[in-house]
């Protein structure tokens, strides 16, 4: 029996025929290149990974480990496969999968991101705020607010400076495709812009396989902190996602910044579902 370790759900695969399982994995990976699967010679462990991917903000090259598994008592074989990957490596782990987390930690990984999820539901409209689609004239506001508020949300485990993070945000918004990434502007009763939210619409929920929404960025003007703007921004985004038929929203929060995580889980209705771990080569 081989134990497969899906990032967000542990399951057991009964397979006496490992060759058949290998073939099934190869078919799955070929449907979404450039993935690859690596096996221990004795079939005691496997690892699926996508090398040469680009980190979403900086564009740095990294390998994403999608899944790895091992036969009972052979976690050492899975650790060896992880250790054989060169360069920056990221791997997902369910929030309650202590066994997988311990193996990643032993292999030199550290938590970088907390992944959170919120079910889309119908919530009442806040009369103090309205939302509208972002237009080209809003880009200066996006640039400014992102540089002011988003830099602190980026994990610092990779050693990025504030200036590097701000530059990366500027590049992101300079090339933002608002058709692929629906963007909403939040306005107060005076029609003053006070926040924004950006969605990616091609995120795949690893648990269900459904294409759903991912919150790329969300920010509110500092003058509106503590005044319900963040909740109003989330309700506006939720209404837009409901209009598009989306059932679930995901977001990533820096693992080394507890304040946004507390706000997301306590005030905005998100639940923690997993971590992204990262291993940075030592210079």
pLDDT tens per residue across all 283 residues of the chain: 344 444 433 333 334 444 444 554 444 444 454 668 888 888 899 888 888 888 877 778 899 998 888 988 899 999 999 999 999 999 999 999 999 999 999 999 999 999 999 988 877 777 889 999 999 899 889 888 988 877 667 777 777 887 888 888 888 888 888 888 899 999 999 999 999 999 998 777 666 667 788 998 899 999 998 899 989 999 999 999 998 888 889 999 888 888 888 888 888 889 999 999 999 987 5
Distance CA 275, CA 114 (A): 5
Q: Which three-class secondary structure state does DSSP give residue 88?
A: coil
Q: Token pair of 183, please?
A: 């963007």
Domains of the chain as residue ranges with CATH: 2-108 (no CATH), 118-272 (3.40.630.30)
Cα–Cα nearest to 176, from 273, 22, 57, 271: 57
Q: Is the pTM of this model over 0.85?
A: no
Burial of 42 by CB count in 10 Å (0-12 exposed, 13-18 middle, 19+ buried)? exposed
């Amino acid at each position: 029996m081989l134990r497969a370790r899906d990032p967000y759900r542990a399951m057991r695969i009964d397979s006496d025929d490992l060759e058949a399982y290998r073939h099934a994995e190869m078919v799955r990976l070929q449907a979404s290149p450039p993935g690859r699967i690596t096996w221990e010679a004795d079939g005691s462990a496997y690892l699926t990974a996508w090398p040469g991917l680009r980190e979403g903000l900086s564009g740095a090259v990294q390998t994403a480990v999608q899944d790895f598994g091992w036969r009972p008592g052979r976690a050492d074989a899975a650790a060896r496969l992880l250790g054989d990957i060169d360069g920056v490596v990221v791997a997902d782990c369910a929030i309650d999968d202590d066994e997988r987390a311990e193996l990643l930690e032993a292999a030199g990984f550290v938590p970088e991101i907390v992944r959170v999820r919120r079910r889309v539901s119908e919530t009442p409209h806040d009369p103090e705020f309205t939302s509208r689609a972002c237009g080209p004239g809003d880009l200066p506001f996006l640039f400014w607010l992102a540089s002011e508020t988003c830099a602190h949300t980026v994990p610092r485990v990779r050693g990025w400076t504030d200036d590097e993070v701000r530059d990366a945000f500027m590049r992101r918004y300079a090339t933002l495709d608002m058709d692929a990434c629906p963007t909403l502007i939040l306005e107060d009763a005076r029609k003053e812009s006070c926040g924004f939210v950006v969605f990616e619409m091609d995120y795949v929920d690893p648990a269900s396989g459904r294409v759903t929404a991912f919150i790329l960025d969300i920010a509110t003007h500092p003058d509106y902190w503590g005044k319900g703007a963040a909740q109003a921004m989330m309700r506006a985004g939720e209404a837009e996602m409901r209009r598009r038929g989306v059932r679930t929203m995901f977001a990533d929060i820096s693992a080394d910044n507890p304040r946004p995580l507390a706000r997301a889980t306590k005030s905005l209705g998100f639940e923690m579902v997993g971590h992204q771990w990262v291993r940075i080569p030592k210079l």
